[in-house]
Structure 1
């Protein structure tokens, strides 16, 4: 007897997995046992909890782009699918299915943390609950589950949050998009995207919480509660002192940004190829780097002199002008210079380089709590080379270009 083909074996394996899920759902939530049904009559196997009038909430494996994911789908066409990676534990999948189905049966909202596509409570789900209760629209939570669907339901695309994004909550305001992040190295960050100028800005959390601007980006997690962060957010966009990093020079500035440090006269439109563009002069390059460091939240950097173009009481800022990539020994040497530069306490290190760096050097920079940025000498734009510097950068998303469906 010939061995069955691979696709038949795979289909049988999926069938058995769904049967296990069916039994787990009944065992964990016996109150819906009579509504549970495993449907394998078509190619898309799915486990469903029936509601009424032929409607149901279903769990299935679906394709999004080049990936296969678990989806919990409610019957409403405008509802957002709950997306989970394939290695999600069975108990999490059936609990997610039950949470959505139970809400439809009782006529209540999906309970937290499941309403945020999360399987356990965290600082992010707690913050999302507070903001939602205060009338703000929470668009996404990413903590334990970093997978989400983006775009209209009939052609949804998979979006996976990057490691450097940390855990975050995305909040939609009438005139801005806000991402509240909790990052491993920096702590709390609040970044604001303003569609009118296609620009990111960062809220001075230290100033709003304690009336003191902090020398480095972020507020340690233990120094601020989710309720305090929510209070800052609920003040609204017009109450925040934003350092906005604007790129397109021709973009008009909205009224509420007038008087803030936008720097439209210092902008370079980065649309031409790198080859053939001139490098910026020393003064122009320094100004652009200083503007970006300030907008990132380095609160005590300031214009210096010819010998030290950018000065700081907290950081020793080193310009690395060699073509060779930074090695571990070089970063160690520069870190020693930074420590010695402090008058009473060692300074921390910021390196600005036109080269790259080795992975061991980046690891040492993180250990030393240093920031290493690559500087594009044609635009002055900064790119983080170690994880701490990457965490200080802007979120890797453009909410203005995402289709905003009524989910």
Structure 2
């Protein structure tokens, strides 16, 4: 007798998964047990909680383009499904299916955080709740579950938000203005707005000034200093609350090369303040820019990666440049970082940027610097398509 083929084993594995899913759903939510239906005969395996007639809320594995996604399908016509990564714990999906079914049976809205396709309450789900409660349209919430569906309801596609963008809430205000509040692991809260104009650029809102009337020299607002309620009120208030000194100029990162070259110090001063480095001024032969917080240095290294020992030395130079307290390092280079150097830069809370030799455009060279960068995507790219 031959060993089963891979197709047979895969089919059996899916059958076992959904059989176990149905059993766990009945066990964890006995109030729904009589409504649980396992479509064991295929060809599409799914577990459904029956609502009325043949309608229900179901979980299936669906193919979206080239990706298999765990998909929670609701009975509303024209709605996009909730999608989850294949490695999502089964109990999370069991509770998600139960939350959607229970809400529909009771005629109530799906509770948070499940309404945002998330399994745990967090600062970003709290912000989404506050925005929705004030009448703001919440477009997307990204935290533990970073997968989402977009496109046509009958042929949806899967989008995946990279971890480098942090957790986020994306909301839409009147006039097509989109606001994205991001919660970064190291920098805390960042707030950007995307205006409905031909530039297609994201602008940075200085949360320190907007909320507390004072600017911080470092990008972001630490969670310990943030008030989610006030952030929600700021967003809901719309652009009228964002005066010119709060709203940074749009950050355009795709400018053509200047015809006669560029001055590196000018390039730094044209870009870093837009990222939230607010105390920079013109430098001299020693430093690219003056700052009470940072020591801003240039290091050539196009032909090699900067090593950890070299970055440690430069970080020591930056620290010694402070009079009352050590300064932090901002390093601009035309080279790249080794992995150990990038890890040390994060540990030392140093920002390292690569300067494009032709344009002077700055790119993040370590994860901490990457957190400070503006969004680079078109928020309309993943809009739902009409039913």
TM over 0.5: yes
Structure 2 counterpart of 1:198 = 200
Deviates more, 1:87-96 or 1:304-313: 304-313
**What residue is the counterpart of 1:268 in the other structure?**
255
- The answer (yes or no) to whether the contact 1:57–1:100 under 8 Å persists in 2 is yes
Aligned mates of 1:340, 1:223 — CA distance in 2: 28
Encode CA deviations 1:196-223: one digit per residue, 9 max, x unaligned.
1211111111111211100010111111
1:312-332 CA-to-partner distances (Å, cap 9, x unmatched) read 111100011232321111111
Match of 2:139, SS state, is strand
Q: Find the aligned partners of 2:201 and 2:376 in 1 and give their Cα distance.
A: 12
Preserved CA contact (<8 Å) 2:287 2:298? no
Unaligned runs of 5+ in 1: 249-266, 271-276
State the alpha-carbon separation in 2 of the partners of residues 149 and 60 from structure 1: 14
Deviates more, 1:239-248 or 1:63-72: 239-248
1:399 aligns with 2:386: no
Q: Is the 8 A contact 2:142 2:169 kept in 1?
A: yes
Residue number in structure 2 paired with 1:359: 339
Q: Secondary structure at the match of 2:118?
A: coil
Structure-to-structure mapping, 1:6-405, within 5 angstroms? 6-174=6-174, 175-196=176-197, 197-240=199-242, 241-247=246-252, 268-269=255-256, 280-282=261-263, 285-305=264-284, 307-323=286-302, 324-405=304-385
> Secondary structure in 2 aligned to 1:151?
strand
Gaps of 5+ in 2: none
CA 1:180 to 1:337, structure 2 compared with 1: closer, same or farther past 3 Å? same
Q: TM-score, normalised by structure 1?
A: 0.88
Query: What is the CA deviation profile of residues 165-185 of structure 1, one whole-angstrom value per residue up to 9, with x for unaligned ones?
Result: 111111112232111111111
Q: Contact 2:141–2:169 at 8 Å: present in 1 too?
A: yes
* Cα offset, 1:224, TM superposition: 1.1
Give distance in 2, aligned partners of 1:381 and 1:394. 13
Distance 1:406 1:26 in 2: 36
Residues 217 and 122 of structure 1, relative CA distance in 2, 3 Å threshold: same
The 8 Å contact of residues 170 and 179 in structure 1, kept in 2 or not, is answered as: yes
Using the TM superposition, give the Cα deviation of residue 152 of structure 1 relative to its aligned residue in structure 2, in angstroms: 2.0
Contact 1:146 1:161 (8 Å CA) reproduced: yes
Q: Provide, for residues 16-66 of structure 1, a one-character-per-residue CA deviation record: whole Å limited to 9, x for no partner.
A: 211111111111112222221111333221111122242121100011232
Residues 152 and 403 in structure 1, CA contact (< 8 A), matched pair in contact too:
no
* TM-score normalized with structure 2 length: 0.93
Q: Secondary structure at the match of 2:79?
A: coil
SS of the aligned residue for 1:287 comes to helix
In structure 1, how many angstroms separate the alpha carbons of the residues matched to 2:209 and 2:252?
26
What value does the CA root-mean-square deviation take over the aligned residues?
Answer: 2.0
1:83 aligned counterpart, secondary structure: strand
Shift of 1:400: 3.1
Residue 280 of structure 1 contacts residue 377 of structure 1 at CA under 8 Å; is this kept in 2?
Answer: no
Asked if structure 1 preserves the Cα contact closer than 8 Å seen for 2:39 and 2:46, the reply is: yes
Q: 106-115 or 235-244: which moved more? A: 235-244
Corresponding residue SS for 1:332: helix
Shift of residue 232, structure 1, vs aligned partner = 2.1
Contact 2:208 2:221 in 1 (8 A): yes
SS of the residue aligned with 1:245? Answer: coil
1:364-389, Cα deviation, whole Å (9 max, x unpaired): 11111100001113222211111100
Shift in alpha-carbon separation, 1:376–1:180, aligned structure 2, 3 A: same
Structure 1 residue 278 displacement after superposition? 6.0
